[in-house]
Every structure is written in C-alpha cells, then in structure tokens.
A and B are shown apart, each in its own frame.
Chain A
Amino acid sequence: MVDELAFNYEITNLMYASHGQPITNCLQCGTCSGTCPAVEFMDHTPRQIIGMIRADLKEEVLASNTYWTCASCFHCTVRCPADIDVADMMYALKRYSMWKGQFQAGLIGPDFSEAFVKMIVNSGRSFEPLLAATYLPRYSARDIVQEGLMATGLVLSGKMPLLPKKIKGLKKFQQMVRRIIPIGEQS
C-alpha cells in the first residue's frame, strides 16, 4: 500500500467535492497547460505541477506561483482526457499552502483571500473598495495612483457606492460560519 503521508495523497484528500478522477490518473498529455490562458505567468505548467506532486516535490510545488496564478476558468478541467479536475486541484494547493502558511513571498492571492473572507464574515457581502485597501500596499506607487484615479472615476460615475452594506441576519450568519471555521471573530 502507498504511504498515506505522501504529498499527492494529502492533495487528493483536500479535493473534497471534486468528483473528478485523482491526479494519479494523469497521463501527462499537457492538455491543461496547452489550454491554460495564464500559463505564461506560471513558474511551472499545470502538467508539471501534477508531475511534481506525484514525485512528492512538496517544497518546490509550494514555492511555485502556479496555483496562485490559476484564473479558475476551468478550461483545463473540461478538456482533461483523464477527467481530472485540474482547476480544483489548484484550489486544493491554495488551501494547503494557506493552511501551512507556506507560499511564494510577494504573492497577493493569499492575503486577498484571507481579507475577502474576513470581509464576508463581517458584513455578509463583499465590497470592492474595502478590498482595495488590503492589497494596495503591495503595488508600485504608479499602480496606486492609477487605482486611485480609477476608483474615483468609478465613484463619480456612480458605479461604486462609498459605504459597504451589511446583511440583516448577520449575527446568525456569523454563528453559522463559526460552525465551519474558527476564523471570522467580530473585528
């Protein structure tokens, strides 16, 4: 029997509801990477990541930006000839890396997700302007200016309200969330 602790089994387990086939079925054909619209910006192609997982190259995989560069377009998933839910595997890796607090330095993804969830838990709804605050510091001065200009533009055009909405049943909503994950205490 295979060692349960093997990295690829950890990942497979993390793909809870992915009703696709396990990545052990991958035939390394490259359909996912040939399809991927964001592949140029990835350290390794999705196919290589699967290969690396199967080779238990845990550190290398976690250090790669590939899974945080996945745009969740699911094109790989629908095309995979081995019926592997590749996009869902990328989510699994994101969860794993956040759980282990181990990911490439300078990535915005992890903080963004964290912040996003915090916001939802605090208000029940998401709200673009607030989000901006959490990631702007990561940007170059130029970006910030642009972002600022755009934001004002949006506000003036009435596309963006100035204040976030909160849902009414927030209390119960938060209790509900606490039944699933510890995070999200009132802040």
Chain B
Amino acid sequence: MTERIGVYICHCGTNIAGVVDVANVSKWAGEKLADQGVVISRDYKFMCSSLGQELIQKDIKEQNLNRVVVAACSPHLHEKTFRNACKGADLNPYLCELVSIREQDSWVHTDKAAATFKAKAIVSGGVSRVVHNEELTPLKVPIHPATLVVGGGIAGIQAALEIADAGFHVYLVEREPSIGGHMAQFDKTFPTLDCSACILTPKMVDVGNHPNITLLTWSEVQKVDGYVGNFAVTIKKKPRYIKIEDCTGCGICWEKCPKKVLDTVFEAGMGNRKAVYVPFPQAVPKYPVIDDVNCTYFLKGTCKACEKFCPTNAIDFKQEAEVITVEVGNIILATGYDLFDARRIPQYGYARFANVYTNLEFERLCNAAGPTGGNIVLRDGKTVPKTVGIVHCVGSRDKNYNAYCSAICCMQGLKFAHLVHERTGAEVYNFYIDIRTPSKGYEEFYNRLLEEGTRFVRGKVAEVSDFARVPEEEGKLVIQVEDTLIGKQRRIPVDMVILSSGLQSRHDSKDVAKLFGISCSADNWFIERHPKLDPVATMTEGVFIAGCVQGPKDIPASVAQGAAAAARVLGKIQQKEIALEPVRATINADQCSGCRICNNMCPFNAILFHENEMVSEVNPALCQGCGTCIAGCPAGAISGTGFSNDQILSQIDGLLLLNILKAAVPVES
C-alpha cells in the first residue's frame, strides 16, 4: 500500500518553539518530504495534551494515515502516550515514531537557525524510518504473584507488609541474622523523639508472624534469571548452625558461650556479643547464629558449650549453606546505605582521639539498650562530658569525599544536641554549613533547640586536635573552625566530639546493581526511572527500589518509598499478565547457515540450535532485544523487530537528507 504519513511538530509551549522555528519545520516537512509519503504536516502547542492526541486521531481517520511521526520530547517520556493515541484510532501503535527535538535539540542548542536545521534533519530521519516500521503486537506474559524484597530495613519491612497484607506472597531476604536495619540501632527518632525500637519492633514482629511472608535472614541473593513477571531468583542461606525447627530462642546458648566478640555491626564497635548470638533482644527471627569465624569450636575444634547446654538440642555444627530458588514476578530492592568512614578525614581525629565518636556510635551510646544503658559518658566509661561538639557534613557536601548532601545529618545533629542537653546538661555546639530542615515539624524542632540554648556555629570544622595552646585547652579536644558569621577563626575546647558521618551507597552496590540489571548513579545510588515522576521504579521492568538505596533519606521518606514500591508491585500483580515490548530478534531459517556465531553472542542464552535442521532459533520469551546477534550474523539471516536494518539504514539517509539536498546552509527561516 502507499504510505500516508502524518508529521506532528510539538511546540512544548516555548520549550521547543522558543528555539526551533516549528512552523518552518512543519511547512518544510509537508513540502520537501511529500515524495516520501508525508500527506499532512502540522505543528501544535502541546502534542501530548488530549487535544493534541485527538488532532492525530482525527487525521488518522479523515486522512486515513497509515504512519505517524511525532517530533516532540524524548521517547522515554511520551512514546507510550502517542502510540496509545494511534491505537485509539485503530492504527497499530508501532507505526508511530516519536523523535526528540527537545532534549536533543531545543534544550541543548542556542543558535535558532542551526537548531531548526537540525530539527528538520531529525524529522526527516523519523519519516524515512517510520516507512519501514511494521505492525507489531506486544508479547503477553503472565505475572507470577509472588514478590522478592531484598533488605530487611524499615523500607523493606514496610514494602513486604503492604504486599503481604494485600494477600500476596513475599520473600524477604536479609543479609544479617535479624531484620530491622539501621533503624533498630537508633535510640530516638526526630523530630518527635519517639523511641525507635517502640515503633519498629511491632512491625518486625508482624513480618516474623505473617503467613504471606517467607523470611530469609542470614541469606543473600546469588543469581537472578528471567524477566519481569517471571524471575527465578537463587538465594544462598548461610548456615546458622541452629536447627530452627527445634530452637526456642531461650537464650541459654549465648549465656553459656564463653567467647566474647567485639560487635562491629549492630553495636558499631561500642559493645561485645558472643560467638553465638542474636544481634539484639528484639531480633526477628528469634533464632541465634553461630559466627563460625570467631566460634572456639570452629577455630580449635573444642568447646561446644552451647551444644551441651541447649535444652532442645537445636545446635548443629554440621549444618551447611543451603541454596534455594524462588519464582517471583517482581523485585523490590531496599538494601540501604553504609556510613561514611570518618577515618578518611584524619584531621577530625576519629580513631586517633578516644573521645571522637561517629553518629552511629553515639546512637548506641545514648540507647537505653546500648552498652552504657543510655548513659552518655566518655570512653573511660564514667566521665560525663561538660561540653560536646557536633560536627555536621562529615564526608558530605565535600568534593574530596561525597559531593552530595546526606539529608539526615542536620536533624540528627539537632536530635543529638537535644539528647545530650537533656541527659547531661552539657553545653552543646553544632558546627554546620547550612541547617536544612525541609520536612514537616523539622523547622519547629530547630527552633526548639535554639530555645534550649544549644550553641550554633556556622562554619565547616577545619580540624580537631589535642594540642592545648592556652591553659583552658588543657586535656580537651580543640575544635578549630571559622565562625563565618563573625568572620573569625575560633578554637573551641570540648570533651566529646560527635561526627555526623554522611550516608553513602553500600560498598557492594555496583555488584548488586549488576545482579539485578539496573544502573547506578555516579555516587553508586540506584537510578530511578524518573527523578520526580517515577521515583521507585527502575529502567528495568519489574525491579523497584525503596529507601536509601535510591539516595540518602530519613525514616519517613524511606517508609513512604517502601509503601510506594509495594503499590507499584501490587498494580502489576493485579494486571495478571504484562505486555513486553515486541523488540525481538528472529532468525530466517532459510538464510541461516547454521554457523552458530550468534549462539554464544547472546548473554541470555535465548538462541538455541537445532542439530538436525542445522539452524539456530531465537526464543522470544528469553530474547531481550539487544540486537547484537543481528549485527553479528554473517549471513544477515537475523532481523530485529522495531530496530530492523531497513529502519536504521533509512533513518541514516533521512538524517543526512538535507546534506544530500546540498542544503548544508541553514534553510532560510
């Protein structure tokens, strides 16, 4: 049939029209591209508006168009919109091509003539390409109703409960022996100062008892196969050396265990645990873990005190790692953050001066269930500090370390100041660059601190030293800083320094991202599909993110994201089946020489070889549509829907058309 193509140039208000002479472009397309089948060419203020879409649909009907090219924003934003519009007018959505003259033209160029010229080239490329677009129908695949949640912090807990409560099964995987994450380590939560454990523990218990949740602690995901709707996830359950079916969590084993181990994880190095342990009393699940790196039996082959005393013979030193595979339709990653290592800033004295603490250490120090029972004392275990300095932005907002703002430190610093003040009456200094309190009730909390008489010094701390230049500084830690509000360098002697270490991505976030096929930002936070409009989805269908894994955020924001991710997953589950982009490779058996070059080119093993026919074939369910095999096939036997050679080769022609027309001079506009 003869092509009848409609071309639509979007103004996007002034976003495009401000730089590109849209009228000129649409006029040009209507005339110069007529020979390629363009029968109508329009420009319109907002193509994506309902009116704009109706305009297209009307033309499809009245001008009986069989191809549509829209020149507007990036396909990643509105491709679906316009394809659906065409669908609405009974035109196969894949006969619609969206080319970007905003992100790739009007927004990045200033020379109007050149931008207009480029817009014409882009449109012409789209037109030449759309001619070769084929009618396609998305592949429908069923969605497995179960969900995998990785990470048992507050974000993962929230997501898991939302989905489980909606009646669908959840596998919650946690690396540590218990769920709870960082929140379980905190004492109070800002700005309301309610006790962290009091609000977290009930949720943890719910997770532990929920019939729809399979809790896999002390476990890690090893492998992820498949695609949205049908993931096969391989999980390694590290040996607990405890028969959980027999264990009652009575605690006799860790009472009797003779081996003390410095707890660098939960107690942040502030306290000890035993070689067989639960990280904290409210741990979920209640079963302990034997730490085989430190356990005397594993080191020396003797001891077994726990085994001797266990009333239910639940200890099993022979236990081995177990590898299981679960089927899920969607995945939520909530793997959280690591704390910035304050040792990297030696001038702040952490690990050089005893009484310099990290924020996490201080959380444990002032936690009623912590090593000092909540008494705020110096490392000597008795002296109550008289003056305390809280250093903000440690490793944050600093191009030498992390350039971004860690979002929580300001409020955390204020919280610490309040707790110190309340419990010790000590004088507290906050050293800050800017105080950022952008959420509900936060500024009020700041005001409260000001009223309490906390001292605020605006200036990034230069160094902490033990060098006393004057008698008042003897035996103190001296914080040297410019008080920028008076423009003077000050040396402030304190007894205790608390470093608000920033948040950073997990040390292994790159590997995790690769494991789940999503991408990381320059700072290794996971990248969301859209920073504003799609914060919990990723570029990979069926994989969602929640909490600090996406970027630094506080508890309320993490909970919100956990719930949001759950809602997105539930939406998918309800659809029961999902339409996959029909961008797939197919092998023409007649042309295939059976050379098998394509076979090992495919990273998804989607190409199988038929020995007897001596030809290869692509499994459309496994094929992800990258097209490498197409480019690699020496016989040219493989073709790819959506990105066929014809489409691309003619798009190249189209883009260069103007030059061939010897119109290298920006067309008079």
Contacts and interface: CB of A to CB of B under 8 A. Distances in A.
- Direct touch of chains A and B (CB < 8 A): yes
A142 B462 CA distance: 37
A29 B484 contact: yes
Interface in A73-95: 79, 81-83
Contacts of A36: 489
Contacts of B459: 29-30, 33-34
A31 interface: yes
Interface string A34-50: 11100110001101100
A27 interface: yes
Interface in B416-462: 433, 458-462
B488 interface: yes
A83 B481 CA distance: 18
A28 B483 CA distance: 11
Interface stretch (B158-166, B226-234, B394-402): B394-402
A81 B482 contact: no
| Chain B interface size range | 20 to 34
Residue in A32, A44, A79 whose Cβ sees the most chain B Cβ within 10 Å:
A79
B625 to A, nearest CB: 42
B488 A31 contact: no
Nearest to B490: A34
| Chain A interface size range | 20 to 34
A30 B482 contact: yes
B487 interface: yes
Contacts of A79: 347, 400, 462
B463 interface: yes
Contact of B462 (A21, A31, A83): A31
A28 B398 contact: no
Contacts of A27: 397, 433
Contact of B397 (A34, A44, A47, A81): A81
Residue in B398, B458, B463 whose Cβ sees the most chain A Cβ within 10 Å:
B398
Contact of A34 (B393, B399, B400, B461): B461
A33 B461 CA distance: 10
A2 to B, nearest CB: 16
Contact of A83 (B393, B399, B484): B399
Given A36-B489, A45-B487, A30 B481 contact: yes
A103 to B, nearest CB: 21
A31 B460 contact: yes
Contacts of A47: 482, 484, 487
Contact of A39 (B433, B460, B461, B489): B489
B489 A29 contact: no
B399 A81 contact: yes
A40 B399 CA distance: 27
Contacts of B81: none
Given A27-B397, A81-B398, A81-B400, A34 B347 contact: no
Contacts of B488: 45
Residue in B459, B481, B484 whose Cβ sees the most chain A Cβ within 10 Å:
B484
Nearest to B399: A83
Contacts of B399: 21, 81-83
Contacts of B347: 79
B480 interface: yes
Contacts of A31: 460, 462, 482
Contact of A44 (B398, B433, B487): B487
Contacts of A35: 462-463, 480
B462 A34 contact: yes
Contacts of A45: 482, 487-489
Contacts of A39: 482, 489
Contacts of B482: 30-34, 39, 45, 47
Interface in A13-29: 21, 27-29
Residue in A40, A47, A81, A83 whose Cβ sees the most chain B Cβ within 10 Å:
A81
A34 B463 CA distance: 8
A7 to B, nearest CB: 20
Contacts of A48: 487
Residue in A21, A33, A47, A82 whose Cβ sees the most chain B Cβ within 10 Å:
A33
Contact of B460 (A29, A40, A44, A83): A29
A29 B347 CA distance: 16
B275 to A, nearest CB: 42
A156 B367 CA distance: 68
A35 B398 CA distance: 15
A177 to B, nearest CB: 37
Nearest to B480: A34
A12 to B, nearest CB: 17
Interface in B463-483: 463, 480-483
A33 B480 CA distance: 10
A42 to B, nearest CB: 10
Contacts of B433: 27, 29
Interface string B380-416: 0000000000000100011110000000000000000
A117 to B, nearest CB: 32
A88 to B, nearest CB: 16
Interface in B138-188: none
A40 to B, nearest CB: 7
Contacts of B484: 28-30, 33, 47
B651 to A, nearest CB: 36
A29 B405 CA distance: 14
Contacts of B463: 34-35
Nearest to A76: B462
Contacts of A83: 399-400
Residue in A30, A39, A82 whose Cβ sees the most chain B Cβ within 10 Å:
A30
Contacts of B460: 29-31, 34, 81
Nearest to B489: A39
Given A81-B398, A81-B399, A34 B481 contact: yes
A45 B480 CA distance: 14
B400 to A, nearest CB: 6
A48 B480 CA distance: 17
A33 B462 CA distance: 8
A33 B400 contact: no
A34 B487 contact: no
Contacts of B398: 81
A13 B215 CA distance: 61
Q: 3 tightest CB-CB pairs across the interface, nearest first?
A: A34-B462, A30-B482, A81-B398
17 contacts: A21-B399, A27-B397, A27-B433, A29-B459, A30-B482, A31-B460, A33-B482, A34-B462, A34-B489, A36-B489, A44-B487, A45-B487, A45-B488, A47-B482, A79-B462, A81-B398, A83-B400
Given A28-B484, A45-B482, 15 more contacts: A29-B393, A29-B397, A29-B460, A30-B462, A30-B482, A31-B462, A33-B459, A34-B460, A34-B480, A34-B482, A36-B489, A45-B489, A47-B484, A47-B487, A81-B399
